[in-house]
Structure 1
Amino acid sequence: MSLLDAVPEHLPARLTISLWDFSWYTQAGPGEPFADLDGAMVAAVERGYNTIRICAMPFLLFGDHDIDASRLDIEEMAPGVGHATRWYNVRGGVSVDGRARLRELFETARRRGVRVIVSSWEYQQSPAFSRSDNWYRALEAIPPEERFLALAKSLARLVDYLRTAGGLDRQIAYLELHNEVDLSHLRDAGGGSEADPYWPQKPFNERAIEWLREQCPEHMVTTSYGITPYLDMPAAAENSDVAHFHVYVYGALGALERWAGVRGGDDYPSANLRSLLRDGAPEFGGASTGLVPSWRYDATGISPGMFYTYDNVDPRLWDRWLYEKHHLYAEAMRWAIDDKLTAISAFARQRGIPAVVGEGWIGYTPLHSEYEDGPLGTAIAEYAVQRAVDLGLWGVVLGSNSAPHHPGWRNVAWQQHLNRFLFDTAIAS
C-alpha cells in the first residue's frame, strides 16, 4: 500500500509546504514580508506551494488566561539584536489583533486555495516577540504535565472559532499540537530533559492527541519532533494521524559550528569565530546582546552567543568556509537524509498514516548566508526531496528557508521546478 493511500480524499494528494512559522504575525509591519498577507499567499501559490505551516498562537488566542489578545504588541529582541539572525530580524513597533489576523490568514488561504498546518511555537519562541512578558509567564505557570492538554483545549477552541467564521476550518490540513516538542519547554513533562526528551513526555503527548481527536474528529491530529529519533522511533507519539518529523543534517555546517564555537563556551567568542566576523563587529556583550531582557532569552532557544554570532559574522567568510569543506561531508549528509527518511517512512507504514517532513534540510545559518540556498545546499535539498518521493511521503518542505521572510524566497524558478516534480509524482502514484 502506498502511504499516499492514507491521505483523506478532501486533502491534496501531496502537500508542498512553505514554513511561515510565527513570522506571519511578527513580521507584519509596513515593508515587512507579511505586511500584505494576500500578496504573500499569491507569491507562495506562484512558486507552487499549496500549504503553509504556521504558529496559530492557539494558547494566546484561546487559552485559559486573562490576556487581551486583541492587541499583541510586537517588539524586537533589543535594539540592534537579531537584525541578521534568521527568524529574528523583526522590526517591531506593530500591534496585531490576534484573532482578526488569524481569520484574515484563513480567508486569504481559502481565496487562494491553500491549506494550513495549524501548529504552535508558544513553548519555544513565539512569546519572545511580545513587548510584555505576560504571554510567556502564563505559559510557564502551567505545570509541565498539563501543558499538552492546555494546548489541545486551545486548539479545539481555535477550530470552533474558524468553523463558526464561515467554515474556515476546512482549510486546515491537520492540527499539530506543537512544534518540536523535544526541543521546547514541553519536554519538561514527566521529568524529561535534554538527555531524554522523548519517553518521559510521551504519555502526556499521546493523551492530548487523543483528547483533541475526540473534540475535532473531522481533522487529523499530530505532534512534531525537531530531532527525528530514528534509532528509537517508538519513543515518538504512536497515536498520531500524521507522522510529522523534521530532518536537519548539518554536516559541514555542524563542523563549522564546532570549529568556531558558534553556540557558546568558556572561551566565547573563540579566535576561530573572530576570524569570521565582519569589519566593525562590536565586542560580545553590552549592547550587542546584553540589552535583551532575561525573560526573552528564557522564552526562546537562541542564546546570547548565537545572536552575537549570527548578527556579526561576515556571510562571505562564513559561506567560504562551508564551500571549502562541503565535499568532506556531502556524502554523510545524504546518508543522514536516507536514514532519517527511511525511519519516518517505516514508522508511517507500520501505522497506516501519511508522513510529512515539516522542516529541513541542512540547519540554522545566519540570515544572509547563501550556503543552503546556493548550488551546494540546493543539491542536498533536491536529493532529500527525491528520496522523500521515493519513500512515499505526503508532505515535504523544499527547505525551511523557502518562505517570504528568507532571502531564499527569491529562488523562484527552483521552487517552481521542485514543486511541479512533487505534484507530478503524486499524480503518477
Structure 2
Amino acid sequence: MADRYLGSGTIERDERPLTGPVPAHLPPRLTITLWDFSWYTQAGPGQPYEDIDTAVADAASLGYNAIRICAAPLLLFGGLGLDDLAGALEIEGLGASPGGGFYGQRTRWYDTPGGYTIDVRARLRELFEAAARHGIVVILASWEYQQSPAFAASPRWFEAIDAVPLEQRYRLLARAWDRMIEWLTAEGHRARIALVELHNEVDFSILPALEDGGADEVRWLRERHPDLLVTASYGKPPHLDMHSLPDGLGAAQFHVYSYGVLDALQQRIDIRSEGSEGFPNAELRALLRDDAPPVDAYGRAADWKFRATVITDQMVYGYDWVDPQKWDAWLVEHYPPYEHVMLREIASRTIAIARWARWQQVPAIVGEGWVGYTPLHGDFEEGGIGRALAEHGVRTALAHGVWGVVLCSNAAPHHPMWQLREWQAALNAEILAADAR
C-alpha cells in the first residue's frame, strides 16, 4: 500500500540544532547549576559556599560547565552610594526567631543563618578566578528587585534601590551592568561571561513590564557589548502568546515550572497568601510538625524584609514548620491524576520557548525548572517522580535545540539534591554529549 500524503505538517523536522548562534568561545551546550544569591548569602563558616574554589571545583567534577548567579550589579556598580556596604555586607538572613533558630530555617533559598560579613566585589572576583581555573562559564543576573537585599542585616541596599522611580529601574540596571562588564573585562574575565540578564524573572519582580522600557535597555546594552549575549528572564513566559514578548532579547532565557499537584496542595493549605483569616487552616495544621509553635508565638521577620522579597510570612511559617514526610506523602498520593498534564506542560512550555527562540534566531536557555517551591527537606522533586519530570524536561530541551539547561533548580550546593551525585553526573554527561552545533 502506497504511503498517503497528509500535508507538510506530517514531515518531521530535525529540531536538535541550536535555535540560534552562540559565540564561538562558549561551550556548545551549557549544563547549569543555579547558585542565585546563595553564593554570597550562605558563605559563612561551615556553610555551602565558605570556600568558593572548592564549591566551583565540586560543580565541575559533576560535569557542570555553567553557574548562574545574582551578581548584585546595583549593589556593586549602581552608583547608589553603597560602596562601603558592598565592601562589608553583613549577612543576616531573615533574622533570628524568638524560640531559637532563624526565620526561613527549613525553606529553600531562605535558609540563611547569617552571622558574617563579606566583601561582595572581592567575592565576585574570586568566583570568576575559580571559574577560570575549573573551566566554568558564568551566567550573570540580578535578583535585587526580587529578594537579594532581604538577606542583609541593613535595609540600606533595599531602600536605595526602592527609592529609584519605577520607570527608571531598567535604565539603572543597564548602566550598572555596563560598568560591571567593563570591570570584569579589565580583570581579564570577559570571555568567562556566558550571558548577562538585565534582571531575573522580570514578571515576578518589582519592575515594570519589560516592554515598558526594559527591552530598550537590553538593546542598549547589546549595542554596547555586541560580543556578549544580553537578555532578561521570565519566570513564566506567555507560552500561549509568545509573539507578545518584546523584540530585542539576545537570548531566550526563560523558566519552566509545572506546579501541577504542588499547586493543588499549595491552594489547599493557603500557604502563599498573606493575611489570611484563621491561618493556618485545618488542612495545613494536619501537615505541621508536632512541635510547631502558634503563628503569633513564632512571629515574623522585620517588615522591610518582606517588602524586599516575593515571599510572605505565611510561606515562611508554613515551610519552617510543615512536616516534610507528611508533605511528600500528600504529593505522592495525589500525583497520578496530575502526571500526564505535568509531563505535557513541561514539554509544551519548553517547545514554545525553543520555537520562539528559533524564530528570533537566538539561543534558548532554561535557567530554572521543573516542579516548584518545596520545603527544604521535602524530597518530592529529589525523589523518583521529580527526577523523572526533570529528565523529561532536559531531554525535551535537547531535542528542540535548547542551548543551556538546569538539571533542576534544586541541583546546587545549598540544596539536599546536591547529594544525588551519580544522577547529576550522568545527566550532565548526556547534555554535554548532545549534538548541539
Letter in 2 for 1:278: R
- The aligned counterpart of 1:34 is 49
**Aligned partners of 1:102 and 1:201: how far apart in 2?**
27
**Aligned partners of 1:248 and 1:267: how far apart in 2?**
30
- The aligned counterpart of 2:280 is 269
Retained in 2: the 8 A contact 1:202–1:235? no
How far residue 8 of structure 1 moved from its aligned partner, in angstroms, is 1.6
- The aligned counterpart of 1:18 is 33
Q: 2:242 aligns with which of 224, 230, 233?
A: 233
Letter in 1 for 2:294: E
> Which string of whole-angstrom CA distances, capped at 9 and with x for unpartnered residues, describes residues 208-238 of structure 1?
1011112222211000000121011133232
1:306-325 equivalent positions in 2, closer than 5 A: 306-325=315-334
**Aligned partners of 2:155 and 2:244: how far apart in 1?**
33
How far residue 164 of structure 1 moved from its aligned partner, in angstroms, is 1.1
How far residue 3 of structure 1 moved from its aligned partner, in angstroms, is 2.1
How far residue 137 of structure 1 moved from its aligned partner, in angstroms, is 0.7
Specify whether residues 76 and 211 from structure 1 end up closer, same or farther in structure 2 by C-alpha distance, changes over 3 A only. Answer: same
Retained in 1: the 8 A contact 2:25–2:191? no
Is residue 314 of structure 2 the alignment partner of residue 305 of structure 1? yes
Give SS of 1:116's match. strand
**Aligned partners of 2:148 and 2:351: how far apart in 1?**
31
- The aligned counterpart of 1:111 is 133
**Aligned partners of 1:209 and 1:221: how far apart in 2?**
7
Unaligned runs of at least 5 residues, structure 2: 1-14, 97-101
1:87-98 equivalent positions in 2, closer than 5 A: 87-98=109-120
How far residue 201 of structure 1 moved from its aligned partner, in angstroms, is 3.5
Retained in 1: the 8 A contact 2:222–2:250? no
- The aligned counterpart of 2:5 is none
Q: 2:419 aligns with which of 399, 410, 417?
A: 410
Letter in 2 for 1:310: Y
Is residue 199 of structure 2 the alignment partner of residue 178 of structure 1? yes
> Which string of whole-angstrom CA distances, capped at 9 and with x for unpartnered residues, describes residues 328-379 of structure 1?
1111001111221111011101111110000000000000000000111101
**Aligned partners of 2:138 and 2:210: how far apart in 1?**
26
Is residue 382 of structure 2 the alignment partner of residue 373 of structure 1? yes
**Aligned partners of 1:424 and 1:3: how far apart in 2?**
14
Letter in 2 for 1:113: G
Retained in 2: the 8 A contact 1:205–1:237? no
Retained in 1: the 8 A contact 2:347–2:392? no
Q: 2:372 aligns with which of 363, 376, 392?
A: 363
Greater shift, 297-306 or 62-71, is seen at: 62-71
**Structure with bigger gyration radius:** 2
**Aligned partners of 2:167 and 2:210: how far apart in 1?**
8
1:111-150 equivalent positions in 2, closer than 5 A: 111-150=133-172
**Aligned partners of 2:278 and 2:393: how far apart in 1?**
36
Is residue 429 of structure 2 the alignment partner of residue 420 of structure 1? yes
Retained in 1: the 8 A contact 2:173–2:198? yes
Q: 2:269 aligns with which of 260, 265, 268?
A: 260
**Aligned partners of 1:261 and 1:120: how far apart in 2?**
29
Retained in 2: the 8 A contact 1:371–1:377? yes
Letter in 1 for 2:398: V
State the aligned residue count. Answer: 413
**Aligned partners of 2:105 and 2:20: how far apart in 1?**
44
- The aligned counterpart of 1:394 is 403
Retained in 1: the 8 A contact 2:363–2:402? yes
Identity, % of aligned positions = 48
**Aligned partners of 1:144 and 1:5: how far apart in 2?**
33
**Aligned partners of 2:35 and 2:433: how far apart in 1?**
24
Specify whether residues 228 and 5 from structure 1 end up closer, same or farther in structure 2 by C-alpha distance, changes over 3 A only. Answer: closer
Retained in 1: the 8 A contact 2:88–2:118? yes
How far residue 4 of structure 1 moved from its aligned partner, in angstroms, is 5.3
**Aligned partners of 1:5 and 1:136: how far apart in 2?**
37
**Aligned partners of 2:398 and 2:373: how far apart in 1?**
24
Is residue 296 of structure 2 the alignment partner of residue 285 of structure 1? yes
Unaligned runs of at least 5 residues, structure 1: 190-199
Retained in 2: the 8 A contact 1:289–1:307? no
**Aligned partners of 2:435 and 2:309: how far apart in 1?**
37
1:206-217 equivalent positions in 2, closer than 5 A: 206-217=215-226
RMSD (CA atoms): 1.2
Retained in 1: the 8 A contact 2:19–2:358? no
**Aligned partners of 2:190 and 2:61: how far apart in 1?**
23
**Aligned partners of 1:227 and 1:103: how far apart in 2?**
32
Retained in 1: the 8 A contact 2:93–2:114? yes
Retained in 2: the 8 A contact 1:381–1:398? yes
